[in-house]
Amino acid sequence: QMKFRMPWDTTPKPHDRPWYSFDFGPVHFLMMSTEHPLNGTQGAFIEEDLAAVDRGTTPWVIAVGHRPMYIDSGYNPDDRSHDSDYGFASYYQSSLEAVFLKHGVDAVLGAHHHTYQRSCKLKAGACDAEGFHVINLGMGGASNSKLSKSPAPIWDFLDGTHHGYVRMTASRERLAMEYIRGSEPDKVTDKLELTREAAMMLAMQWV
């Protein structure tokens, strides 16, 4: 079986597991494998990694995994088996939502479902100012997945028919993610913007 090696720190020992983290400018990225158990070894890594983030250096924290933590899906909405869209999202939430809230994760990025989805700040399945945003970035395969006919009110923007990408810019004071459709390359179709003031107020609770 062939796979790409993962980035690792050579001390104290090589790390070649499919979960890791890195800092890029003022953003700390936590890269997770949703194809492996989210508890156990990976769960311990996630907890330790987030606990070690220096919010003075990287005021923004973004968690990234292939499958979505929250999702709007038109596929078998009553199916709660582990491999279903809603079933896996429920497992993801029960495994890591409390950890993300504890450490002040700003946004959780996912994909898998071939749509663009952006939520309000979420906590326990509802909009809450103390929560985090979920953004699902599967629009590279637009039209290959179905959105539901009656989306939950947690979703601020949904698009299941357009290809596109998200452009991220960040400074110590501001984090912005802009959704650009391939058919409208000069237009920002959707935008999430967070400011440092809000982040600093929350960060004070985690010091």
Distance CA 163, CA 180 (A): 9
Return the H-helix or E-strand segment holding 180: strand 174-181
- What percent of the chain has a predicted confidence (pLDDT) above 70? 87
More confident site: 132 or 78: 132
CA–CA distances in Å: residue 22 to residues 25, 63, 69, 201: 10, 11, 21, 24
Contact by Cβ (8 Å): 121, 127: yes
Distance CA 198, CA 52 (A): 21
Lowest-confidence region among 2-11, 30-39, 41-50, 189-198: 2-11
Return the H-helix or E-strand segment holding 43: helix 40-51
- For residue 2, name the pLDDT band (cuts at 50, 70, 90): low
Return the H-helix or E-strand segment holding 155: strand 155-159
Q: What is the pLDDT of residue 125?
A: 97
Distance CA 142, CA 115 (A): 6
> Which amino acid, 16?
D
Q: What is the pLDDT of residues 175-204, one digit of tens each?
A: 999 999 999 999 999 999 999 775 454 444
Q: What is the pLDDT of residue 76?
A: 80
Q: What is the pLDDT of residue 38?
A: 97
A 10 A CB-CB count for 46 gives: 22
Q: What is the pLDDT of residues 140-153, one digit of tens each?
A: 999 999 999 999 99
Q: What is the pLDDT of residue 1?
A: 56
More confident site: 13 or 103: 103
Q: What is the pLDDT of residue 95?
A: 98
Q: What is the pLDDT of residue 3?
A: 60
Q: What is the pLDDT of residue 77?
A: 74
- The beta strand positions in 65-154, using DSSP E, are 107-110, 116-119, 122-123, 126-127, 133-137
Distance CA 161, CA 115 (A): 7
How distant is the alpha carbon of residue 73 from its chain centre?
17
pLDDT at residue 13 above 90? no
Q: What is the pLDDT of residue 205?
A: 43
Q: What is the pLDDT of residues 65-94, one digit of tens each?
A: 999 999 999 988 777 788 899 999 999 999
And the tokens for 91? 């497992």
